[in-house]
Amino acid sequence: MNSHGDHTQVQGRAWSEHEYMLSFFISMQVGAVWGHCYENAYPLFFAIPELFDPHGLFIEGWIVFEDTDRVVLMEHGWLLSRQQYIVDPTIVLAVEISQPVYYYPGVSRARAELEALENEFFPHVRFSGYRDDGMQHAGYLAAYESALQKARSMLSEKKTFVEVKATLLPSQDEVVSQSSDFGVIVVQRNGGGPHGQERG
């Protein structure tokens, strides 16, 4: 769905090996950095138009994955190609190809909307009148609730639950003071300018 449209993305979709390899290759090419999911994804959308035009999407939502002793629910940003492949240059830096990652899209943004949001904070749903956590947006809330249910279903005695929400690093005092401690990053197509760092 776009930020105001119908919910068309599948909730809880696990990505394929093909999507992992595509994301890994792109991540290595662009020098993606762990913990900067929105900053990694935003300029990538414009850098490879043959992959994302005309129907590609920038997604704000949640992912669920597990490792040796944790089940992680993470606020996250990624892309969908024009052929609806998941392109996630960030999570490939933390998981192996054999580790399932489940995607829960909350807000989807097409190119025209993304162009208008350059130099804005992300996840932008938090800065669009849907409360500080974005949870007054029906799609974002539904994605979170579905992701939380999935994470709980994966828990066992040997696994602890970890929820990761986008946040600024403590050193970003100026940006924090402007965004009530929950802002994330200011995105730009060329990667320049002032940036907070989101953990997700």
Taking the alpha carbons at both ends of the chain, their separation in whole angstroms is: 21
Q: Where do the DSSP E strands lie in 56-164?
A: 57-66, 70-80, 86-87, 101-109, 121-122, 160-164
Give the pLDDT confidence of 98-142 residue by residue, as tens digits: 999 999 999 999 999 999 999 899 999 999 999 999 999 999 999
- Please say if the pLDDT value at position 176 is more than 80: no
Residue-averaged pLDDT of the chain: 84
Please, are residues 1 and 125 in contact by the beta-carbon 8 Å criterion? Answer: no
Is residue 178's pLDDT more than 60?
no
Write down the pLDDT at residue 2: 44
CA distance 56 to 131: 27
Residue type present at position 172: Q
Question: What would the two tokens of residue 95 be?
Answer: 């998981």
* C-alpha dist (Å) from residue 118 to 8, 62, 77, 161, 164: 25, 22, 15, 34, 25
Separation CA 20–CA 24 (nearest Å): 6
What gap in Å lies between CA 30 and CA 69, rounded to an integer?
31
Q: Does the pLDDT value for residue 196 go beyond 70?
A: no
3-state class (DSSP) for residue 77: strand
pLDDT tens per residue, range 135-150:
999 999 999 999 999 9
pLDDT in tens, 58-99: 999 999 999 889 999 999 999 999 999 999 999 999 999 999
Is the pLDDT confidence value at 15 over 70?
yes
